[in-house]
A and B are shown apart, each in its own frame.
Chain A
Amino acid sequence: MKIVVCAKFVPDATADRRFRPEDSTVDRAGVDGLLSELDEYAVETALTVKEAGDAEVTILTVGPEQAADAVKKGLQMGADAGVHVLDDAIHGSDAVATSLILSKALAKLEADLVVFGMGSTDGGMGVVPAMVSERLGLPAVTLGSEVTVEGQTVRIRRDGDTASDTIEGTLPLVLSVSDQANEPRYPSFKGIMAAKKKPVETWSLADLEIAPDQVGGASAWTEVVEVTARPPRSAGTIVTDDNGSGAAELVEFLSTNKFL
């Protein structure tokens, strides 16, 4: 079985994330980046399936030069190979364009099982898996909190707002997993050394037969009009509880602000 994990390179959430003033796109070069933490759960799922049977795991990322780090992290965790789609024309792509690039690459890789995270930690739209499923005409089982693969059947448990559902589909298929699905492993020293010898291919848009004007900022179907930093919240009142005074003052605050 050929498993491909789609993994995104994102700016570190704990660093000072910002936008490029010139085109309102995310500054991916000036801020430290890493494999989106939520995609680690997807890598872990793929590795678990591989260990239970016979499979090859490829990490696929679309992103700038430094996005190679996301591929590397996946390889260190235990994936077998990597593909990095890298092309200057991709900069500024929106979700629809990103899903086009991923779909073309996935078709070329002839994936049986495509694994996604629940959402990136930067854009966080949570829509790319559904878009890829739509484009490839493959079934999608999304947001699995528990995943089992038996033969050709993939079954997940999805914990929704009103119910906990069991959902299944047949390979080839698109799967996304939540952060409840597993506990992603840390790369071992052996894994880190082994990763250096694993094959990573870099593909351009031309390799995927995508015209440069089909993707990227200039042809994005969404346009950012304005970006504003949120004004810091004005400093509030902080009191220290002394034998019940905290509760009294809290209730007084709630009452003054008409919450009672």
Chain B
Amino acid sequence: MSNVLVLVDHTAGKVRKTTAELLTIARRLGEPVAVFIGDGVSDALPVLGQYGATKVIALTNADLTQYLVAPKAEALQQVAAKVEPAAILISSSTEGKEVAARLAVKLDSGLITDAVDVTAGDGGPVTTQSVFAGNYTVQAKVTHGTPIITVKPNAATPEAAETSPEVEEFDVTVSDAAKTARITESKPREATGRPELTEAAIIVSGGRGTGGDFGPIEAFADSLGAAVGASRAAVDSGWYPHAYQVGQTGKTVSPQLYVAAGISGAIQHRAGMQTSKTIVAVNKDEEAPIFELVDFGVVGDLHKVLPAATEEVTKRKS
């Protein structure tokens, strides 16, 4: 069977859930080979094996992590030249997409971004994308070179398939040209203890209707074990950090449950959440367009509805 490269998304060896999803998808297309860049491969190994990586190619050259994306694309090009994969799968993060973009140019290959599903087709992988604010679904394939596909979080449910992959150290060379832009300072964001927005099963988002008080949003989210999101109006008002913005210019999310509180449902917001499995809204205006999307809606004041719901959820859970 042919190899399918999966670029591992991790922080210091802690593998993100998206990688388990990519490995699950890769198994539909061939034999998953994980490409691990940076330190911590021994920590990552059990997880990569659990989801079926048949081999792990480890790249530790320090230049790969110091200089943004260009060296990573160079490294993948060198790995691809050796492995001759049938497809390359990368997470649809901002970094993942830039690595993929450069790789497409280097390998003279077609690129598909933001796939929400990938299946095996006659002539290679067939992708599904959700476009135009989720109003259309497009199926596409790459017709030239090695298919390079970036895949969105939650595109597949990770399925275990235990293997014991061997680790192969791979020497890459990084050109000086790839080292021209660099990170001079990095301020880590404070951890919230809540699930990662794009990976969460449940998200509770607040908008302008919160009036600036995200307390009820956070409390309800915590009662459900959910992540917190925000509309752009809330972010632009300085009420919540931009990293939590859902929508066209923020994150695209596709959780099992999305709760929109005090959010009107503008097209640009919908673009980021319309493919959620179940949608719930709390809004005091019964005419708010968000109600066109919902499975369940409450017309009411979020400052009353959410605290009461939080109390009830907490009671039922204990």
Interface residues of A, Cβ cutoff 8 Å to B: 13-14, 17, 19, 24, 38, 94-96, 99, 118, 121-122, 124-128, 130-131, 133-135, 137-143, 145, 155, 159-170, 173, 178-180, 220-230, 233, 236-241, 244, 246-251, 253-255, 257, 259-260
A27 to B118 CA separation, bound complex (whole angstroms): 26
A-B residue pair count with CB separations less than 8 angstroms: 250
Q: Which of these, A126, A223, A240, contacts B97 with CB under 8 Å?
A: A126
**Contact of A179 with B249 in the complex, beta carbons under 8 Å:** yes
**Contact of A248 with B186 in the complex, beta carbons under 8 Å:** no
**Contact of A238 with B291 in the complex, beta carbons under 8 Å:** yes
Known: A223-B143, A238-B299. A131 touches B134 (CB 8 A): no
Interface residues of B, Cβ cutoff 8 Å to A: 11, 68-70, 73, 93-94, 97-98, 100-102, 104-106, 109-114, 126, 130-145, 177, 180-189, 196, 202, 224, 241-243, 248-249, 256-257, 267-268, 274, 278-280, 282, 286, 291-301, 304-306, 308-309, 312-313, 316-317
CB-CB < 8 A to A226: which residues of B?
138-139
**Contact of A167 with B298 in the complex, beta carbons under 8 Å:** no
CB-CB < 8 A to A96: which residues of B?
104-105, 109-111
Shortest distance from the beta carbon of B203 to any chain A beta carbon, whole Å: 12
**Contact of A222 with B136 in the complex, beta carbons under 8 Å:** no
Known: A127-B97, A178-B249, A230-B135. A257 touches B278 (CB 8 A): yes
Known: A166-B184, A222-B141. A161 touches B296 (CB 8 A): no
A228 to B243 CA separation, bound complex (whole angstroms): 31
**Contact of B267 with A13 in the complex, beta carbons under 8 Å:** yes
A161 to B227 CA separation, bound complex (whole angstroms): 14
5 of the cross-chain contacts (CB-CB < 8 Å) are A130-B102, A163-B187, A223-B141, A224-B139, A236-B279
CB-CB < 8 A to A142: which residues of B?
94, 98
**Contact of A134 with B106 in the complex, beta carbons under 8 Å:** yes
**Contact of B300 with A241 in the complex, beta carbons under 8 Å:** yes
Known: A228-B136, A229-B135, A259-B256. A239 touches B298 (CB 8 A): yes
Closest 10 CB pairs of A and B: A241-B300, A221-B110, A247-B308, A139-B180, A221-B144, A127-B101, A130-B101, A169-B181, A166-B185, A246-B298
Q: Which of these, A17, A125, A131, A168, contacts B114 with CB under 8 Å?
A: A125
**Contact of B316 with A260 in the complex, beta carbons under 8 Å:** yes
**Contact of B305 with A247 in the complex, beta carbons under 8 Å:** yes
**Contact of B188 with A246 in the complex, beta carbons under 8 Å:** no
Shortest distance from the beta carbon of B51 to any chain A beta carbon, whole Å: 22
Shortest distance from the beta carbon of A145 to any chain B beta carbon, whole Å: 7
Known: A222-B143, A259-B256, A260-B316. A165 touches B282 (CB 8 A): no
CB-CB < 8 A to B308: which residues of A?
244, 246-248
**Contact of A162 with B313 in the complex, beta carbons under 8 Å:** no
Shortest distance from the beta carbon of A155 to any chain B beta carbon, whole Å: 8
A115 to B98 CA separation, bound complex (whole angstroms): 16
A137 to B73 CA separation, bound complex (whole angstroms): 13
Known: A228-B136, A229-B136. A259 touches B143 (CB 8 A): no
Known: A96-B105, A254-B313. A246 touches B94 (CB 8 A): no
